[in-house]
Amino acid sequence: MREILELLERDAHLSHDTIATMTGLPLEQVAAQVAEWQASGVIRRYTAVIDWDRAAAAAGPDSIPETVTAFIDVAVAPARSVGFDDVAERISRFPEVRSVYLVSGGHDLRCTVTGRNIRAVSDFVSQKLSTIERVQATATHFVLKAYKRDGVAFAEPEPDHRLRVTP
């Protein structure tokens, strides 16, 4: 069953029929399993990976407003019986926050945040994030360029320079 999830994660457009063919499972079993995962919350949503730089270049400079993405590492003082969970859940409720992870290393949480510009992300950190009780420190890292996101590389594939083989 993990194979079905991996296929959907790689390409959410795959039909149940295609998944059944690729896995060798009956179509009815694939459809029932996917429906069960959707109902139980295993499959949270289907999404597209967008190359915003390419979209802006294709549509024109003023048609798609630019956004800034930052990774923010957060040091948190853990609390008895909840650890980091309550702070992580509170951070995740902000609309600017795209993801929150509990991580190992010098900080406890790593957040992905988007904003209209650097000032908007800076204001989020100084006015919202750093004012949360038990947040001790933050370190903000702005994304300069995305080479790969969610398993999708944004670089152009190199052209094939091999000569054709003819009979």
pLDDT in tens, 133-162: 999 999 999 999 989 988 888 887 778 888
What φ, ψ does residue 111 adopt, rounded to 5°?
Answer: -115, 145
Instruction: Classify the phi-psi angles of 89: left when phi > 0, otherwise alpha if psi is within -120 to 50, otherwise beta.
Output: alpha
Q: What predicted TM-score, i.e. pTM, was given to this entire model?
A: 0.76
pLDDT in tens, 4-26: 999 998 899 999 999 999 999 99
